[in-house]
Chains A and B, each alone.
Chain A
Amino acid sequence: QQPVQSPQAVILREGEDAVINCSSSKALYSVHWYRQKHGEAPVFLMILLKGGEQKGHEKISASFNEKKQQSSLYLTASQLSYSGTYFCGTANTDKLIFGTGTRLQVFP
């Protein structure tokens, strides 16, 4: 089952914040976050391996709620370079299954 992301799309002005959610119907062992620019391969952002874990990467951070089978990606003070489609990926045993995706557009 593919994880469901919300919202499907976000439009921001530079400097605004956004939250992207990822929900799975199955138990999560780890959560990956990637950003993909149009026509390019996904670029790794971070992995969360444990329930309750939070990680930060510049102004992008994420949390992992294992009990709720959810993860959230937080983008603060967004920059133009943050535009792209964000995917969560859930790893169960031997597969990495990508979420439905969230398209983020940041305007000046």
Chain B
Amino acid sequence: GAVVSQHPSRVICKSGTSVKIECRSLDFQATTMFWYRQFPKKSLMLMATSNEGSKATYEQGVEKDKFLINHASLTLSTLTVTSAHPEDSSFYICSAPSNRGGVTDTQYFGPGTRLTVL
């Protein structure tokens, strides 16, 4: 099956610093990628849709200036948490649909990034 990687898998940072998370589709191209955030024992909440070659689409309540998304190529999307604070601590997961597909296609998830802000 298709493989999606995320880096780093775990990051601990001080309050006020910025953290970049990379999401890569390793063996397929993805014009769209999705970023989710998950708090302990909660569901995955969609943060934004990353679109290759255009601006990301953010969900209501998600600050676009705080969570910067860049879809640099057909295999790479990055999420930068700017000026991170303890309340940003969470599990961040990206997904990509198979075969340049859309939301109704199988979504392949990255392994997730555990962010802890001290």
Which residues of A line the B interface, CB within 8 A?
2, 29-30, 32, 39-44, 47, 49, 87, 89, 91, 93-101
Contacts and interface: CB of A to CB of B under 8 A. Distances in A.
Nearest to A99: B43
Given A94-B49, A95-B46, 14 more contacts: A41-B93, A41-B112, A42-B93, A43-B109, A47-B106, A91-B104, A95-B49, A96-B107, A97-B46, A98-B36, A98-B44, A99-B43, A101-B42, A101-B43
Contact of A94 (B42, B95, B103): B103
Contacts of B28: none
Interface string B76-118: 0000000000000000010100000011111111111010000
Interface residues of B, number: 23
**In the complex, which of the residues A2, A42, A97 has the most CB atoms of chain B within 10 Å of its own CB atom?**
A42
Nearest to B97: A96
Query: Which applies to chain B's interface (DSSP): helix, strand, loop or mixed?
Result: strand
Given A41-B93, A42-B109, A87 B44 contact: yes
Contacts of A40: 111-112
A100 B44 CA distance: 8
Contact of B102 (A94, A97, A101): A94
A98 B104 contact: no
A19 B93 CA distance: 27
A97 B43 CA distance: 10
B112 A29 contact: no
Contacts of B114: 39
B108 A44 contact: yes
A101 B44 CA distance: 9
Contacts of A100: 43
B67 interface: no
22 contacts: A2-B43, A29-B104, A30-B104, A39-B112, A41-B109, A43-B109, A44-B106, A44-B107, A44-B108, A44-B109, A89-B107, A91-B103, A93-B103, A94-B57, A95-B49, A95-B103, A96-B95, A96-B103, A98-B44, A98-B46, A100-B43, A101-B43
